[in-house]
Amino acid sequence: MSSDEQKTNQQWGGRFNEPTDAFVARFTASIDFDKRLYAQDIRGSQAHARMLNKVGVLSDEELKAIIEGLDQIRGEIERGEIDWSIELEDIHMNIEARLTDRIGITGKKLHTGRSRNDQVATDIRLYLRDEIDLLLAEITRLQQGLLEVAEREADTIMPGFTHLQTAQPVTFGHHLMAWFEMLSRDYGRLSDCRARLNYSPLGAAALAGTTYPIDRAYSAELLEFSAPTANSLDSVSDRDFAIEFCAAASLIMTHLSRMSEELVLWTSAQFDFIDLPDRFCTGSSIMPQKKNPDVPELVRGKSGRVNGHLIALLTLMKSQPLAYNKDNQEDKEPLFDTVDTLKGCLRAYADMVPAIQSKGEQMREAARRGFSTATDLADYLVRKGMPFRDAHEVVGKAVALGVKTGLDLAEMELAQLQQFSDTITSDVFDVLTLEGSVNARDHIGGTAPAQVRSAVATARAQLAARA
């Protein structure tokens, strides 16, 4: 064991009579992953120092030394000049030790009235708040891309599916607006999560608060939190805000995975509905004809990764007594990876979606082949006075004839349709066309091109209001 490995951590080692085992030091250290919190840790420490100065614990000179010292350390970190120490365990101790090296004993006064417990809880909230803001911007960018394509494809007819069987004709623009609505709810969930986490644990100290005359409202204001948290035990011990974020992230990834599944299907030779640009695809090492939709496939796969992180955090918290436990060191890696994964997937989709090219003729032919206007024929008969169940039977017989003859309903002769009901007259062909079907659904939320364009306009106003 080297002399460095034999050192006791001077930040907390006074009670100990022997150094930490070298393996245990490495096993319990978190600096390798929590160093990404450096900016939030420095910001929180500067706010804490300003609060200590306000209540008379630090002098103006001491505050100036701490603020300037932390600014210099931030610069060193960003320039890659810091050698992180495992013996100092985490980002908090590494920065504090570096500050003390720089400004002397004044650096040791920074930790007055706080603990690593409230410090890390504050850092994670600040970090997650920053990341949520970036993720919300990426969701908005993706939605803007969807609106571009949806407006362009407002008249493009495709089959709508249930059970992956042709159901009724819809427009491609309408389908993409369904994706938009999913993402709008995702945006709302992330916004709600941000509001709930935006409370400051700083000043809760280890678990019971502190005897110093701190001003928690002031430090919360400096850090742009809504208010201080209300209970010191709860402040340091729960990570429900991180779990809530991962739950929202899992839902976003579920939506992106469903979109991915459709893109994979639509780019296949069997569907051939759309084309994705080459830059979002790859080829095969053995089959020269292949163009694989790797980005959607990988996003679909990464949904399992994010779901796993949610379960990991739920399991991490489920049996912990109040207040803080070392278990909570395990909150960061799942959270960080969830943030990174979600951010990457949203970026990929925001870049890719505007470049989707539809193949309108193939979409239209697929809608034509599946008797997708059968419900329109039933509705036509009901409007003529026939009970719906009787209309359902009539249309079923007409479809059976279509299956036998290879004719779509719109391709049949009037006489062929009239053998099932003399209620049918020549005006039936106004509703049996694909255009007639989609145009007839001209109400809020319907697939009619006019409604798609109206939905796009409303959605653009919603996005503009976010700014």
Rounded-to-integer distance, Cα 350 and Cα 344, Å: 10
> Closest by alpha carbon to 340, among 82, 95, 138, 123?
138
Q: Given its phi and psi angles, is residue 442 left (phi above 0), alpha (psi -120 to 50 degrees) or beta?
A: beta
Q: Cis link prior to 367 (omega < 30° from 0)?
A: no
DSSP state of 79: T
Phi, psi angles (nearest 5°) of residue 227:
-175, 170
Least Cα distance to 169 among 382, 348, 432 occurs for 432
- The two structure tokens encoding residue 428: 């039936």
Instruction: Look at residue 200 and give its three-state secondary structure.
Output: strand
Q: Is the dihedral of CA 451, 456, 461, 463 positive or negative?
A: positive
Distance of CA 37 to the CA centre of its chain: 20
Q: Which residues carry out catalysis?
A: 163, 284
Q: Among residues 226, 297, 288, 289, which one has the least CA distance to residue 263?
A: 297
Q: How many residues does the chain have?
A: 467
CA distance linking residue 391 with residue 386, whole number of Å: 6
Name the β-bridge partners of 166: 161
